């Protein structure tokens, strides 16, 4: 179906409408946005990636091959393992080779050799390390894993022999939700303060605008750093997590508040709003029924585009050691172990979580960009 890029002239004759046109004219705003978004290939791909990532969050225990804290003492700094399909030219299905470890007596580094005589099949839905699903249901079923006796470290292991892939998957739970919680905080702040500023005007407006200006004058990252340094060091990890999301939200709301105010000021002057006020609609009714729907789509777009900034903010803070700290596993925490260039040079797979961060950020940006194009269905 091809949608006209400008609104076609209103039909003069009801009977002349094709079924397609009727559908177009009868469609709600959200339907139109969805139709346009669907045509944006890159945005749709990004949308699927994001949905897959977020769908994974409740089931990380099941999806990851190992438990997040389990250490494999005899596989410290194990390089990423390859899954093989053929052994001596014979197709065996997915399997990994066993390995033996020797310590190089010259530089005291562990070296791993592939032991081609031992083969372990990689299977879907295997029994592995026990865990408690959502902290309640005991289970040991994993989405994929390796036969008893073998190891499966697709992204290698870290200095304690913890599987990087499992840690990255667990880290997604924290890193991805930081953005959502942070945006909720800044959304609420922006709606209240931006709304007040735009609807009330006068000195309230001036005061709020000044405040926004001051916050925006600060370079973002140093301000985040200073605020998270103010969190007490011995705080409960969960509270640190909440604290960081609040800090991210408290700084990020200004941009959103500005667009709320700008949109409110524009819509407030529209004829249909004046009309509603003249026939006696209450303020709350006007805001709910006439003002909010007029710019919800714009708000959602701005929100989508600020989520990646918050995810990056968390990653940067944790990377610097000012954000989340080790019992919690987030991508920033994982990357903080890659801060030392010497460690990275020896064990480059420690950098692999960067890929996940970039994938997420890119997806959010592409999706938000497509959404922005689609949000104005009449344009």
Partner 1 sequence: MLRYVIYRLLLMIPTLLLISLVTFTIIELPPGTYLDSLISELRASGETADLQKVEFLRKQYGLDQPVWVQYWRWLSGLLQGDLGYSFEYDRPVSAIIGEHLAMTMVISIAAILFTWMVALPIGVYSATHKYSGADHGLTLLSFMGLAMPDFLLALVLMFVAFSVFGVSVGGLFSPEMQAAPWGWAKILDLLKHLWLPVLVIGGSSTAAMIRRLRANLLDELKKPYVVTARAKGVPPWRLLIKYPLRIAFNPFISDIGNLLPHVISGSVIVSIVLSLPTTGPVLLRALRTQDMHLAGSFLMLLALLAVIGVLVSDLALAMLDPRIRQGGGRSR
**Residues engaged in binding partner 1 (CB under 8 A):** 209-211, 213-223, 225-227, 229-230, 232, 308, 312, 315-316, 319-322, 335, 338-339, 341, 344-345, 348, 351, 354, 357-358, 361-362, 365-366, 369
Is residue 253 within 8 A of residue 267, CB to CB? The reply is no
Phi, psi of 220 (to 5 degrees): -55, -50
Q: Report which DSSP code applies to 99.
A: E
Minimum separation from the CB atom of position 133 to partner 1 (A): 32
Tell me whether residue 133 or residue 226 sits nearer to partner 1 (CB atom).
226
CB of 364 to partner 1, least distance (A): 8
83 versus 358: smaller Cβ distance to partner 1: 358
**8 Å CB contact between 11 and 334:** no
Q: State in angstroms the smallest separation of the CB of 305 from partner 1.
A: 10
Smallest distance from partner 1 to CB 95, Å:
30
Least distance (Å) between residue 200 CB and partner 1:
17
How near is the Cβ of 242 to partner 1 at its closest, in Å? 16
Q: Which is nearer to partner 1, 276 or 354 (CB)?
A: 354
Nearer to partner 1 (CB atom), residue 128 or residue 179: 179
Question: H or E element: which one contains 371?
Answer: helix 353-375
Task: Determine phi and psi for 225, rounding to 5 degrees.
Answer: -60, -45
State the pairing for strand pair 109-133/84-87. Answer: unpaired
Q: Which of 64/315 has CB closer to partner 1?
A: 315
**Spatial separation of the C-alpha atoms in residues 249 and 290, rounded to whole Å:** 27
Q: Residue 51 CB, nearest distance to partner 1 (Å)?
A: 19
Q: Which lies closer to partner 1 via its Cβ, residue 130 or residue 355?
A: 355
Q: What CA–CA distance (Å, rounded) separates 241 from 251?
A: 16
Nearest CA to 368 among 309, 317, 319?
309
Dist CA 235 CA 212 (whole Å): 30
Q: How far is the CB of 253 from partner 1 (least distance, A)?
A: 15
Tokens of 121: 């099949």
Residue in this structure with the two tokens 């340094």, named with its chain if needed: 229
**Cα gap 269→320, rounded to integer Å:** 47
The residue among 27 and 265 lying less far from partner 1, judged by its C-beta, is 265
Structure-token pair, residue 187 = 């959304």
* Cα–Cα distance, 205 to 209 (Å, whole number): 6
Q: Which of 142, 165, 140, 168 is nearest to 83 (CA)?
A: 165
Residue 92 vs residues 84, 115, 161, 194: alpha-carbon distances, Å: 9, 17, 28, 62
Nearest to 316 by CA among 256, 215, 250, 247: 247
146 or 185, CB closer to partner 1?
185
| Smallest distance from partner 1 to CB 177, Å | 18
Between residues 185 and 357, which has the closer beta carbon with respect to partner 1? 357
Measure the CA–CA gap between 246 and 143, rounded to whole angstroms: 34
């Amino acid at each position: 179906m091809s949608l006209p890029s400008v609104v076609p002239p209103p039909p003069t004759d009801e009977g002349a409408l094709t079924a397609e046109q009727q559908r177009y004219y009868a469609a709600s705003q959200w339907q139109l946005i969805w139709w346009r978004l669907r045509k944006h290939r890159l945005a749709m791909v990004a949308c699927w990636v994001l949905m897959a990532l977020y769908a994974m969050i409740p089931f990380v225990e099941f999806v990851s091959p190992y438990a997040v804290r389990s250490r494999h003492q005899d596989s410290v700094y194990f390089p990423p393992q390859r899954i093989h399909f053929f052994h001596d030219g014979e197709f065996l299905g997915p399997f990994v080779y066993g390995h033996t470890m020797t310590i190089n007596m010259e530089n005291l580094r562990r070296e791993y050799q592939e032991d081609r005589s031992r083969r372990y099949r990689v299977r879907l839905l295997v029994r592995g390390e026990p865990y408690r699903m959502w902290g309640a249901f005991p289970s040991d079923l994993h989405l994929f894993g390796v036969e008893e006796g073998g190891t499966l470290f697709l992204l290698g292991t870290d200095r304690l022999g913890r599987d990087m892939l499992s840690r990255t998957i667990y880290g997604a739970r924290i890193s991805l939700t930081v953005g959502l919680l942070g945006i909720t905080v800044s959304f609420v702040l922006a709606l209240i303060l931006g709304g007040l500023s735009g609807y009330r005007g006068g000195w309230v407006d001036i005061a709020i605008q000044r405040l926004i200006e001051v916050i925006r004058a600060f370079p973002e990252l140093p301000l985040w750093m200073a605020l998270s340094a103010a969190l007490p060091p011995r705080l409960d990890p969960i509270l640190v997590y909440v604290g960081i999301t609040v800090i991210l939200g408290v700084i990020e709301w200004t941009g959103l508040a500005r667009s709320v105010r700008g949109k409110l000021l524009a819509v407030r002057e529209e004829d249909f709003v004046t009309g509603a006020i003249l026939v006696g609609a209450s303020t709350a009714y006007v805001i709910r029924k006439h003002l909010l729907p007029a710019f919800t789509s714009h708000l959602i777009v701005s929100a989508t585009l600020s989520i990646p900034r918050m995810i990056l903010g968390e990653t940067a803070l944790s990377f610097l050691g000012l954000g989340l700290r080790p019992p919690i596993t987030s991508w920033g925490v994982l990357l903080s172990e890659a801060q030392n260039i010497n460690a990275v040079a020896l064990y480059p797979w420690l950098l692999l979580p960067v890929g996940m961060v970039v994938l997420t950020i890119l997806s959010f940006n592409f999706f938000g960009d497509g959404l922005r194009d689609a949000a104005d269905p009449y344009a």
